Amino acid sequence: MGDRQGMTRRRFLAGGVAAAATAALGHRWLRAAPARRERPPNLLVIMSDEHNAGVTGCYGSKLVRTPHLDALAERGMVFDACYTNSPLCVPARLAFTSGKYISRVGAWSNDCWLPSADYPSLPRILNAAGYESFLCGKQHYDASCRYGFTEIGGNMNNGHMTGRGGRRDPDNLASKGLSGRFADFRVAAQPAHHAHDTRVTNGVCDFLGKRKRSDKPFFLFAGYLAPHFPLLVPQEYHEPYRGKVPMPNLPPGHLDGLPLNYKHLRAGFQLVGVPDDTVRLGRELYHGLTQWMDEQVGKVLDALAKSDVARDTVVVYTTDHGENMGEHGLWWKNCMFEHAARIPLIVSWPERWKGGQRRAGACAHVDLVQTLAELGGAKPGGDWNGASLCPVLDDPKAAWKDLAVSEYYAHNIASGYAMLRAGQFKYVYHTPPDKAHPAQRELYDLAADPGEFTNLAARPEHKDRVEQLHAALVKELGEHPDETELRCRADYAKGYDREDGPKAKGKGKGRAKGEPK
């Protein structure tokens, strides 16, 4: 990974800043710190599920009410171009857990686990550095795996992964009516995830209230389900948005010009012909559920502020992936458009960083993992992906790779695809479904076309750029996506021989090329 990352930086960093200058930034913070700390900070990571970054006040929304996240942003750092490493729950969370791209650990779908129960993970390396790692809430793990976490607040991870999957017939775009999920776009007495998420809030608040500065440093992961569908929202959370959320922008002919895989997402998820009233209601309810989720975050932040460990704790807010909300004719996630692939990332620790700052360079969850490891004095494996964000947190002028990768190899598609965001451009490569259907490519200039309506990939003037971005994507991943797709299909065909879970290193199926045996 070190060589691939170096090549990527050399290719995309303007001016080619020397590595020595980047390293010096860490020493600059040591001189600027108010006092030498006797131990590393506590790490509190709050991860929601399916939060569209644009539906947050600090990310530009003038409509949604997210005062607690906005206040956290005022006390911290907002990253404007952070991306999930996969726009799907389990793969995204396994990438965060392992610090590696999903294609390297066989995290193909929601039916997957890491290659072994004792696989190297972020909580494990932090535990080795003297931390105690706790999980409160949903991380979408198999029931047999916790990967170094001690679970608190109740058992909320009971998956039964099979490792199996498949592909849609590339020529069959038939859709069987509307998804039943749209029936759960409605006002209800309680939010959809009230029972689960209030347990998470109560568990985290109880933990923080009992924790002492004299205790070992902790890594606490709080996993919420909101604002993931179903969009069941009480009236008081719907009312502020009724009739106020604009409809998606769908230029004439746009749906016909979507890549084949995105047409399959529309067909497979039964998204064709959603009535306007349903679209409008869903978008309103999503805003309301996001407001409710923000209130849960507020309760956690209030408990932290009242605790004995407040000034010793780094707070991170992020999500696993976004939500399309009907944009581009899509709902849920699964695609590489900004609504699904771009995610919020707020990092706050006033002891080290002045609040109210923003960073524009592209980054991803694997970079956040490296950041948490550095803050905790932990040592990731040399083959982990990503790079620590600490230099750019410390200095807005610090050199940064400005690059992010995301992959999708899961359900309701004809073939897998991978995305590279570099600077103002986003490149997506769709692997060929079969010999009769060639690979497809997308290229968007996000500065000129933030809505991603104009695919530049086939234009002659962008030929060199497409080739460069494709080479950078392959280099970063360490494998051509066509090869990755073949491995994924082979793993799907085999599935897992569970024996009730991957008990030893290498026993879990789906081990990626080059991973430990």
Provide DSSP, 451-496.
T-----TT-GGGHHHHHHHHHHHHHHHTS-HHHHHHHHHHHHHH--
Q: Is the pLDDT of residue 36 over 60?
A: no
Residues 6+ apart with CB under 8 A from 111: 90, 161, 162, 163, 164, 165
Give the whole-number percent of the chain exceeding pLDDT 70.
89
Mean pLDDT score of the chain, rounded to an integer?
91
Residue 354 pLDDT more than 80? yes
Whether 378 is covered by a domain: the verdict is yes
Name the residue range of residue 225's domain: 2-9+41-164+185-494
Q: At 500, is the pLDDT very low, low, confident or very high (cuts 50, 70, 90)?
A: low
pLDDT at 129 over 60: yes
Categorize the per-residue pLDDT at 155 as very low, low, confident or very high, splitting at 50, 70 and 90: confident
Mean pLDDT in residue range 439-448: 98
pLDDT in tens, 78-100: 999 999 999 999 999 999 999 99
CA angle 232, 155, 119 (to 5 degrees): 110
Check pLDDT > 50 for residue 17: no
Average pLDDT, stretch 314-329? 98
- pLDDT above 80: residue 397: yes
The verdict on residue 146 lying in a domain is yes
Cα–Cα nearest to 322, from 296, 344, 294: 344
Report pLDDT for 328: 98
Q: Within 10 A of 448 (CB to CB), how many other CB atoms are there?
A: 9
**Residue 169 pLDDT more than 80?**
yes
Task: Report the pLDDT value the prediction gives residue 457, as an integer from 0 to 100.
Answer: 98
Residue 512 lies in a domain: no
What is the mean pLDDT of the segment spanning 207-230? 97
In a domain, 402, yes or no: yes
Domain count, the chain: 1
Listed residue (397, 448, 396, 409) closest to 426, CA to CA: 448
Q: How confident is the model at residue 333 (pLDDT cuts 50, 70, 90)?
A: very high
Q: Do strands 417-422 and 425-430 pair parallel, antiparallel, or not at all (unpaired)?
A: antiparallel
Helices (H), 323-364: 338-341
- Mean pLDDT (whole number) for 272-281: 98
Whether the predicted pLDDT of 511 surpasses 90: no
In a domain, 427, yes or no: yes
Banded pLDDT at 12 (limits 50, 70, 90): very low
- Mean pLDDT score, 1-21: 34
| pLDDT band, very low/low/confident/very high, at 38 (cuts 50, 70, 90) | confident
Average pLDDT over residues 30-37: 40
pLDDT at 33 over 50: no
State yes or no: pLDDT of 517 exceeds 70.
no
Say yes or no to pLDDT of 6 above 70.
Answer: no
Helix (H, G, I), strand (E, B) or coil at 438: coil
Residue 200 vs residue 156, higher pLDDT: 200
Higher pLDDT, residue 346 or 10: 346
Do the domain assignments include residue 22? Answer: no
Q: What is the pLDDT of residue 336?
A: 98
For the CA atoms of the chain, what is the radius of gyration? 22
Q: Quick one: what percent of the chain has pLDDT higher than 90?
A: 87
Q: What is the pLDDT of residue 117?
A: 86
- The CATH number assigned to the domain holding 289 equals 3.40.720.10
Estimate to the nearest angstrom the gap between the alpha carbon of 139 and the chain centroid: 12
Identify whether 18 is part of a domain.
no
Ranking 29-38, 212-221, 229-238, 335-344 by mean pLDDT, the lowest is 29-38
* Matching residue, tokens 């234009």: 459
75 belongs to a structural domain: yes
The model scores a pTM over 0.85? yes
Confidence of residue 3 (pLDDT cuts 50, 70, 90): very low
Tally: H helices and E strands in the chain: 15, 15
Among 136-150, 365-379, 496-510, the range scoring the smallest mean pLDDT is 496-510
